[in-house]
Amino acid sequence: MAALIDSLEKLYDIQEFQELNWSGSFDDYLQLVKSNPDVCRTAYQRMYDMVLAAGERQYVDNKKTIIHYNFFDDPADGGKDGIFGLDLPLMKLVQVFKAAAWRYGPEKRVILLHGPVGSSKSTIARLLKKGLERFSRTPAGALYTFDWIIENEQGQTEVLPSPMNEDPLKLIPLAWRKRAVDELNLKGRYPVDVRGELNPHCRYWFDFLMKKYDGHWATVVKKHIRVRRLVFSEQDRIGVGTFQPKDEKNQDSTELTGDINYRKIAIYGSDSDPRAFNFDGEFCVANRGIVEFVEILKLDVAFLYDLLGATQEHRIKPKKFAQTDIDEVILGHTNEAEYKKLLGNEFMEALRDRTIKIDIPYITKLSEEVRIYEKDFGRQRVQGIHVAPHTLEVAAMWAILTRLEDPKKHKLSRLQKLKLYDGKTLAGYTQDNIKELRKEAPREGMAGISPRYIQDKISNALVAEKGGATHINPFIVMNELEGGLRGHSLITNEDERDEYRNLLSVVRDEYADIVKNEVQRAISADEDAVSRLCANYIDNVKAYTQREKVKNPYTGRDEAPDERLMRSVEEKIEIHENRKDDFRREIMNYIGALAIDGKTFDFRTNERLHKALELKLFEDQKDTIKLTSLVSSVVDRETQEKIDVVKNRLIKNYGYNEESATDVLNFVASIFARGDAKG
């Protein structure tokens, strides 16, 4: 048994434990401050540095430079609380942290995350709290507080922690603190400026000991102060606080500022003695860290007064004591309905004036929405049941369509708008057009279906027992999504319900096109063949638009551009003869614009051209297999072998299993069969 204990102990980092539990004298702390002034950072400075410490990367979206902060990927926890598709709102949040870190004003405000239900407001708050806990355990995020070493009446030594975990530099009286800091000649990332007085409890002991030693400050801090490392922990209520509104009858503002310890009144004889007060309210607990207000706008007016003082003056008013200085990030979140109530309440003007609102909308980019569901239902997560390709994609597509507004431009559908937002190209639409689309719909993403609803319905599909099936496909999930609309508590009227059902029909049609193209690609060999055809087409288009010749790769002779080849591709997407010149110039302009931005042309990003190339290749090879034979009860051996080849390609190249590949082939075959019947 002892051997097992010893082997387990090796997993524990004793050196880290000793570093996190470091303690020393006040003079030792001054040496630490001199070597690393960042230990004296404010709460906002520490928060901002924590985000930057994880790194960042930049990219351009619609001609706007976006900064992606790696911190919000939650790398420290394996992406458990990673945020997808919200780089712009998160960039605004970090800009607020930056301005507050340099004391430009936002440090005197409540940061309010505002958005629809399920838009990841709570996840962002949880990430920031978790991040601060971890950051305080690193050398870069180290901070310190102090204990009083007091001898009681019985001659025993008592250790009394600073109840609000204040910076030891607060022990230097405010009257000469700035001169003392200047004397130390501290040069850190930020100017060292520890503001405010000691809390009432520490102030009591400071005054008591200063009188005892006739004003010899150095003697007080040498004999009675022990500095120690401070590590944030929400579980231990150190540096991280959370306040959640409850029943008004069972909750009062002392939960924010602390309350009198009535048992100690008998010892100290007065309820105004700071030793008889518990500084354990959420504002006290979160000092030097962060306090989260869950559903902040549900707060009673009694709590509002404390909140206003905490934001603007960085002070709280504990019962029976003077105003007490605090330093913390105050973060709240609320939904749309509560925020509308705030706007309509004239008694809440003071709070509105002290609030920085940051909208956290639903995602409107398809590829980012899919990542949410892949995290929960990807191949690595779901065991025993195969999730067929495009199952998560169609669910995400429908969710985003419910969040988008109908485009004001003519001849543009909501589905096309979705594709433009996701980086696809459509004829006649540039990045400037996409910018206009976003501008004309500023509230896009603030309503619609939440990711939670989608997750619940995918979960239902996974656990439903239907004839021993080993997979789920897009139709199963879409049926679940439609069935759940009848009892959806957030859909307030039948018109909205009908609109969402219609959008499901749009998604079904789009899925039919997707799998048709996928089967066509499986029939018409591989991506290399499409790539070769594309290169040939582009060479001819380039020569045509620049009035040049094309070198024949086989004969080596210069020849006129192959008009027959170009038209055979263009006709697949209904480019008429009188529009061919415009289309070809459009393709060349697109390639040229990419080159200017230092990017390489990839036919996959141009949806129309990609589709045309695949249809052309499929047309050239479709006679090798008749898909409609799948719906026949009699299939000859040669045809079956060809079908098996296509099925194997679907399994190998597109992620299907045997059952889902058979289903999709049957589905596409029925589409072709209907097409033949119509013909």
How confident is the model over 133-158, as pLDDT tens digits? 999 999 999 999 999 999 887 778 89
Give the C-alpha separation, 229 to 136, whole Å.
Answer: 9
Q: What share of the chain is helix, strand, coil (3-state, %, to 5)?
A: 55, 10, 30
Structural contact between residues 565 and 537, judged by C-beta atoms closer than 8 angstroms: yes
CB atoms within 10 A of CB 249: 6
Structural contact between residues 351 and 342, judged by C-beta atoms closer than 8 angstroms: yes
Give the C-alpha separation, 416 to 426, whole Å.
Answer: 8
Give the C-alpha separation, 426 to 412, whole Å.
Answer: 10
Q: What residue type is 129 in one-letter code? A: K
**Does residue 42 have a pLDDT over 50?**
yes
CB atoms within 10 A of CB 227: 23
Give the C-alpha separation, 295 to 585, whole Å.
Answer: 54
The domain 24-361 is classified under which CATH number: 3.40.50.300, 3.40.50.1220, 3.40.50.720, 1.10.10.60?
3.40.50.300
Structural contact between residues 474 and 511, judged by C-beta atoms closer than 8 angstroms: yes
pLDDT digits (tens, 9 = 90+) for 365-423: 999 999 999 998 887 667 778 899 999 999 999 999 999 999 887 678 899 999 989 88
Structural contact between residues 56 and 46, judged by C-beta atoms closer than 8 angstroms: no
Give the C-alpha separation, 263 to 269, whole Å.
Answer: 10
Mean pLDDT computed over every residue of the chain? 87
Q: Give the least confident one: 128-137, 302-311, 581-590.
A: 302-311
Decide: pTM greater than 0.75: yes
Encoded tokens for 40: 């004296």
Local confidence band at 490 (pLDDT 50, 70, 90 cut-offs): confident
Q: Where are the alpha helices (DSSP H) in 110-168?
A: 121-135
How confident is the model at residue 244, as a pLDDT? Answer: 87
Task: Identify the CA nearest to 519 among candidates 356, 642, 344, 353.
Answer: 642
CB atoms within 10 A of CB 666: 12
Task: Identify the CA nearest to 339 among candidates 117, 90, 129, 128.
Answer: 117
Task: Identify the CA nearest to 94 among candidates 367, 356, 439.
Answer: 356
Local confidence band at 175 (pLDDT 50, 70, 90 cut-offs): very high
- The backbone torsions φ and ψ at residue 322, rounded to the nearest 5 degrees and listed phi first, read -70, 170
Give the C-alpha separation, 332 to 389, whole Å.
Answer: 39
Write the DSSP assignment of 595-637 as a string of letters: HHTT----GGGSHHHHHHHHHHHHHHHGGG--GGGGGSS---H
Question: How long, in residues, is the chain?
Answer: 679
Structural contact between residues 446 and 334, judged by C-beta atoms closer than 8 angstroms: no
How confident is the model at residue 677, as a pLDDT? Answer: 36
pLDDT digits (tens, 9 = 90+) for 626-659: 555 554 555 567 777 777 888 888 888 888 988 8
Task: Identify the CA nearest to 94 among candidates 62, 133, 55, 120.
Answer: 55
pLDDT digits (tens, 9 = 90+) for 45-78: 999 999 999 999 999 887 789 999 999 999 999 8
Q: Which residue has the higher pLDDT, 542 or 251?
A: 542
Encoded tokens for 510: 């789009």
Structural contact between residues 387 and 438, judged by C-beta atoms closer than 8 angstroms: no
Give the C-alpha separation, 374 to 483, whole Å.
Answer: 23
CA within 13 Å, CB half, 12: 8
Stated as kind and residue range, the H or E segment containing 643 is helix 637-654
Distances (CA, A) of 453 to 121, 304, 421: 16, 33, 22
DSSP state of 633: S
Q: Give the least confident one: 12-16, 105-109, 220-224, 273-277.
A: 12-16
Q: Scanning the structure block, which residue is given the tokens 């603190």?
A: 177
DSSP state of 392: H
How confident is the model at residue 533, as a pLDDT? Answer: 84
Give the C-alpha separation, 222 to 556, whole Å.
Answer: 91
How confident is the model at residue 304, as a pLDDT? Answer: 77
All CATH 3.40.50.300 domain ranges in the chain, comma separated: 24-361
Local confidence band at 619 (pLDDT 50, 70, 90 cut-offs): confident
Provide the sign of the torsion angle of the four alpha carbons 485, 488, 494, 499, taken in this order: negative
How confident is the model at residue 185, as a pLDDT? Answer: 82
Q: Scanning the structure block, which residue is given the tokens 């559908």?
A: 413
**Does residue 675 have a pLDDT over 60?**
no
Task: Identify the CA nearest to 561 among candidates 546, 583, 577, 540.
Answer: 540
Local confidence band at 674 (pLDDT 50, 70, 90 cut-offs): low
- The backbone torsions φ and ψ at residue 389, rounded to the nearest 5 degrees and listed phi first, read -55, 145
Query: Which residues have a Cβ under 8 Å from the Cβ of 340 and sit 6 or more positions away?
Result: none
3-state SS class at 569: helix
Encoded tokens for 73: 């990927």
Give the C-alpha separation, 158 to 49, whole Å.
Answer: 36
Encoded tokens for 678: 């119509």
Give the C-alpha separation, 29 to 228, whole Å.
Answer: 9
Stated as kind and residue range, the H or E segment containing 187 is none
Q: Scanning the structure block, which residue is given the tokens 């978790």?
A: 130
Percent of the chain with pLDDT over 90: 48
Q: Where are the alpha helices (DSSP H) in 250-328?
A: 254-257, 262-268, 282-285, 301-312
Task: Identify the CA nearest to 291 among candidates 370, 238, 369.
Answer: 238
**Does residue 678 have a pLDDT over 60?**
no
Stated as kind and residue range, the H or E segment containing 20 is helix 14-20
- The backbone torsions φ and ψ at residue 227, rounded to the nearest 5 degrees and listed phi first, read -90, 145
- The partner residues of 110 in beta bridges, in order of sequence, read 355
- The backbone torsions φ and ψ at residue 232, rounded to the nearest 5 degrees and listed phi first, read -70, 145
When pLDDT is averaged across residues 578-604 and rounded to a whole number, the result is 84
**Does residue 44 have a pLDDT over 90?**
yes
